[in-house]
Structure 1
Amino acid sequence: MSQKGGKFTKEYEGKKTGRFTRNNEDRKNTRFTRSNEDRRSERFTKNNEDRKSERFTKNNEDRKSERFIKGHEGNEVNETRPVREDIVEGRNAVIETLKSDRTIEQIFVAKGNMEGSINKILGMAKDKGIVIKEVDRKKLDFLSETGAHQGVVAMITPFKYSSVEDILGLASEREEAPFIIILDELEDPHNLGSIIRTAELCGVHGVIIPKRRNVGVTSTVYKSSAGAVEHMKIAKVTNINIIIDKLKEQGVWVYGADIDGEEYCYNTNFGGPCALVIGSEGKGMSKLTKEKCDKLVKIPMVGKINSLNASVAGGIMMYEVLKSRIDKKMQ
């Protein structure tokens, strides 16, 4: 009985041990399999999520890029798109262009926007036989350089620049002493537009700008000038310092607007032939251009800020010239 019992016990324990071992191994295998599968699943999920995230990011960037190209991100577009000189936008600017001899290829008008000055534009365009197209505002937004097209954009031939001789010739035709503005590396189109607008009102015969490092006549300039661009001779030159020398040979006095000027603008007699040099927004006039000027003139300032916006400084100086000329006529 004891042998049987011993045998039974051994067999039983062996079976138990076998079951235990198998169960233990099964559990280990199961845990291993589960862990392995979990890790694989985790890697798969992570990779899948990474791919999804990558696709999402790429798609999102593509959509942003597409919106960027189409012009739905505002100022960023204006900074990256090539600056155009073949469009005019805004009601006053388009009206002044219609009054001029400039060739207008076609005019785009926002659908349903036929009130007020738009009617005037349509009438003038019809009289000149210019093609008019009604379009969605999105089209105008895309064409616009300023974002303030006021529901009308005109496609024009690129601006035709004049020569310095043309400017002097105009002064001669009017039997007036030449009055010229020279801009030294002015980069802001709004400032250029404002200066041209003031220049036209003050009787300036022409504006001279350098070909390099200076803004040209763009749609923003048209808009900022309220169309005065169409009534102003603008010359683009390779080197303004050479032009200054040539003007001086023609008897034109060259005055530079500078914070360190030797006399105040209101004490200066601008009654004769003169050219005003206005420097860039940040740097002012270059050293060589300053040296070329016959006289540096300053504007009185009493505040803590020691500089004026280029178009404001130019405006003050131009009105001092106009005042001197009116005083001379009255003498």
Structure 2
Amino acid sequence: MIYGLHAVREALRAGVRPIQRLLVLGTDRQFGEISRLAREQRVPVRVEPRAALDRLVPSGHHQGVVGVVAAKAYAEPDDILASAQVEGQTPLLVLLDGVEDPHNLGAILRTAEASGVQGVFIPERRAVGLTSVVAKASAGAVDYMPVGRVPNLSRLIERLQDAGIWVYALDAEAPKAYTELDFSGPVALVFGGEGTGVRPGVRDACDEAAHIPMLGKVSSLNVSASAAIVLYEALRQRREGAGKKL
């Protein structure tokens, strides 16, 4: 299932995940656009009471809209890399080392899609996958951002390096600040999971590591906040290099 106004609307627009049927609270103006999009694609629309939607989405955060969809397929790592390297593109990729909170993954996908990332990689084990909660938290970005799963992040890093992509890890203990890194060329960014950060073996495989300066009493930022900060620094550098303002 996928739920929430933004997530369902973007799924219908993107057409990546076929929606089998749409369940809505009513037919008033609030649900009019989504119902119209569904009918244009010959998706059955059914009006259901709130209790029925609450049973499908126990958290109750469905905003009156639930879509029954086919599971989103993971992208092939080869396809993500090839897409990032087409002529006119400068690779900007994200690797997530053990992110387990679906809200964090969804927020990262949303920021990645907005900042020009061509693909996100997650490990096959000890990490959240593309669940309905992730789709909701991404506000529809999951339909546009390719996500690949790999058995070993360190081997993926070696492969990216062989392809001429610099790999940077974000690590609170690194001596260099993230603003000192050069994001203007082909880059992959590695962010660690909640609590543990980037694992030592993965960090050691990277070309360099950097930290986000912290001036307060809290020792770290949420991984989705860290990703947003660094990805928009990358976007700033790239746009400045192209003679554009952020």
TM-score, scaled to structure 1: 0.71
What corresponds to 1:164 in structure 2?
Answer: 77
**8 Å contact kept, 1:145–1:219:** no
Q: Could you tell me how far 1:139 is from its partner in structure 2?
A: 1.4
1:155-192 CA deviation, whole Å, 9 max, x = no partner?
Answer: 11111110122112222346211110000010000000
Q: Find 1:140's aligned residue among 50, 53, 65.
A: 53
Give the aligned residue type for 2:98. E
Query: For 1:248-267, what aligned pairs fall within 5 Å after superposition?
Result: 248-267=161-180
* 1:241 partnered with 2:143: no
Q: Report the 3-state secondary structure (helix = DSSP H, G, I; strand = E; otherwise coil) of the residue aligned with 2:161.
A: helix
What corresponds to 2:29 in structure 1?
Answer: 115
* 1:308 partnered with 2:221: yes
Larger relative helix fraction: 1
1:98-119 CA deviation, whole Å, 9 max, x = no partner?
Answer: 0112211001111x35222x10
Query: For 1:1-331, what aligned pairs fall within 5 Å after superposition?
Result: 87-101=1-15, 102-110=17-25, 112=26, 114-116=28-30, 118-144=31-57, 146-173=59-86, 175-330=88-243
**8 Å contact kept, 1:88–1:219:** yes
**8 Å contact kept, 1:271–1:321:** yes
Give the aligned residue type for 1:107. L
Q: Report the 3-state secondary structure (helix = DSSP H, G, I; strand = E; otherwise coil) of the residue aligned with 1:207.
A: strand
4+ runs of 1 displaced by more than 6 Å?
A: none
**8 Å contact kept, 1:256–1:277:** yes
1:78-106 CA deviation, whole Å, 9 max, x = no partner?
Answer: xxxxxxxxx11000100000011221100
Q: Could you tell me how far 1:150 is from its partner in structure 2?
A: 0.3
**8 Å contact kept, 1:262–1:295:** no
**8 Å contact kept, 1:146–1:220:** no
Distance 1:235 1:269 in 2: 25
User: Which structure is richer in relative contact order (CA contacts within 8 A, separation 6 or more)?
Assistant: 2
With over 3 angstroms needed to count, the CA separation of the structure-2 counterparts of 1:228 and 1:253, relative to structure 1, is same
Distance 1:174 1:283 in 2: 37
Give the aligned residue type for 1:176. Q
TM-score, scaled to structure 2: 0.95
Distance 2:86 2:62 in 1: 36
Distance 1:317 1:183 in 2: 14
Larger displacement relative to structure 2 (120-129 or 141-150): 141-150
Fraction of identical pairs, as percent: 40
User: Structure 2 unaligned runs (5+)?
Assistant: none
Distance 2:159 2:186 in 1: 13
Q: Report the 3-state secondary structure (helix = DSSP H, G, I; strand = E; otherwise coil) of the residue aligned with 2:39.
A: helix
Distance 1:323 1:303 in 2: 25
Distance 2:95 2:58 in 1: 25
Distance 2:92 2:197 in 1: 21
Q: Could you tell me how far 1:145 is from its partner in structure 2?
A: 5.5
User: Structure 1 unaligned runs (5+)?
Assistant: 1-86
**Would you say how many aligned residue pairs link Structure 1 and Structure 2?**
243
With over 3 angstroms needed to count, the CA separation of the structure-2 counterparts of 1:173 and 1:149, relative to structure 1, is same
With over 3 angstroms needed to count, the CA separation of the structure-2 counterparts of 1:92 and 1:242, relative to structure 1, is same
